[in-house]
Amino acid sequence: MKQLARWRQFGGWWTRYAHDARSTKCEMTFSVFVPDGATAAPTLYYLSGLTCTDENFVHKAGAARQASSRGVALVVPDTSPRGNGLAGEDDAYDFGTGAGFYVDALQEPWASAGYKMESYVATELRDLVDGLEGVDADNAGLTGHSMGGHGALTLAFKYPDRYASVSALAPICNPTRCPWGVKAFEGYLGSVDAGEDHDACKLVAKHETGRFDSILVDQGAEDQFLVGDIDQLRPESFRAACDKAGQNLNLRYHPGFDHSYFFISTFIDDHVDFAADRLLNNNNKKHAAS
């Protein structure tokens, strides 16, 4: 693993790393924020949306202010493999590069070309984070935006033993029923049906799925992907699925806000707090028990 850059912000340090990744078969970058003085800070993963690298969030969200004040580390991965030279991978903003959808592709050529972002985030990156100073990789939560909100919700349901908290900003809640998700699942998995195992609305209904005391979802009421002719996000489907499954959900609509980082930067502190309230508590419990 090599260090690409290091910046001081608020009460802590960002470090940007590159490493040769097994699951994605290429060099991957990610960024980590560690608050000053942390010895075992809980880890909040932020999963980004379509077209993003790890840098969009680091530069635009301003999350380090609250993360340093709460003593939470932030881990920000990229959104897909890059540069594996696959024909067509750069042709569209919503498939291929920048659009890994947090699934392990089953369909060729994507499966052999490292489109394995589920394994990358949930296992390979987690193991790397375990080796970093100041952070506790075993005390982790997830949040994310849009495609990354879908990643946060679905990985939390699929790996409840790895994540003790989950929230999301304008997540793609029901990808088997929206154009972005249908395109991704047909392309990476071979069918929309195969995507049911990566759809938050379907996963919350499964009884072996993890349950969380609450899930926070923020949504801009003027989000261009919500209020257009085509609803890519479908938060009301997630509300209905959570109600049916007995999963507590705090879904908040914010008038005037769109899908952008202006929305994310306004509400990100609440997501850091939401994770901190759960993970610091979790941490205390763990230490009290030992």
Helix, strand or coil for residue 106?
A: coil
Which of 21, 34, 38, 52 is the binder for ligand GSH (CB under 6 A)? Answer: 52
Helix, strand or coil for residue 169?
A: strand
Residue 134: burial class (beta carbons within 10 Å; 0-12, 13-18, 19+): middle
The DSSP-derived string for 127-139 is HHHHTSTEEEEEE
Examine residue 265 and tell whether it contacts ligand GSH (CB under 6 A).
no
The interface region with ligand GSH, picked from 65-73, 153-161, 254-262, 273-281 by CB under 6 A, is 254-262
Four-point Cα dihedral 103, 101, 191, 105, nearest 10:
-40
Rank residues 46 and 212 by Cβ distance to ligand GSH and give the closer one.
Answer: 46
Examine residue 56 and tell whether it contacts ligand GSH (CB under 6 A).
yes
d(CA 58, CA 126): 19
The interface region with ligand GSH, picked from 36-44, 48-56, 184-192, 195-203 by CB under 6 A, is 48-56
Q: Which helix (H) or strand (E) holds 152?
A: helix 147-158
Cα 66 to the center of its chain, rounded Å: 18
Going by the DSSP 8-state scheme, the letter that residue 95 receives in this structure is B
User: What would the two tokens of residue 114 be?
Assistant: 């490292």
Which of 119, 123, 214, 260 is the binder for ligand GSH (CB under 6 A)? Answer: 260
- What are the phi and psi torsion angles at 209 (to 5°)? -65, 150
d(CA 42, CA 56): 22
Rank residues 42 and 235 by Cβ distance to ligand GSH and give the closer one.
Answer: 235
Examine residue 9 and tell whether it contacts ligand GSH (CB under 6 A).
no
The interface region with ligand GSH, picked from 49-57, 156-164, 198-206, 278-286 by CB under 6 A, is 49-57
The verdict on whether 19 is a catalytic residue reads no
Examine residue 266 and tell whether it contacts ligand GSH (CB under 6 A).
no
Q: Are 142 and 121 in contact (CB under 8 A)?
A: no
Q: Are 153 and 146 in contact (CB under 8 A)?
A: no
Minimum CB separation of residue 147 from ligand GSH in Å reads: 6
Q: Which of residues 16-35 bind ligand GSH (CB under 6 A)?
A: none
Which residue bears the tokens 């769109």?
Answer: 258
Q: Which of residues 93-122 bind ligand GSH (CB under 6 A)?
A: 93
The interface region with ligand GSH, picked from 106-114, 127-135, 144-152, 239-247 by CB under 6 A, is 144-152
Catalytic residue (one of 54, 104, 199, 223): 223
Rank residues 56 and 69 by Cβ distance to ligand GSH and give the closer one.
Answer: 56
| 258-to-24, 157, 219, 244, 264 alpha-carbon distances in Å | 32, 27, 8, 28, 9
Minimum CB separation of residue 219 from ligand GSH in Å reads: 13
The verdict on whether 191 is a catalytic residue reads no
d(CA 30, CA 7): 14
Minimum CB separation of residue 230 from ligand GSH in Å reads: 11
Which of 35, 42, 49, 175 is the binder for ligand GSH (CB under 6 A)? Answer: 49
Catalytic residue (one of 31, 68, 80, 146): 146
As annotated, the active-site residues are 146, 223, 259
Q: Can you give the binding site for ligand GSH, defined by CB under 6 A?
A: 49-52, 56, 60, 93, 145-147, 259-261
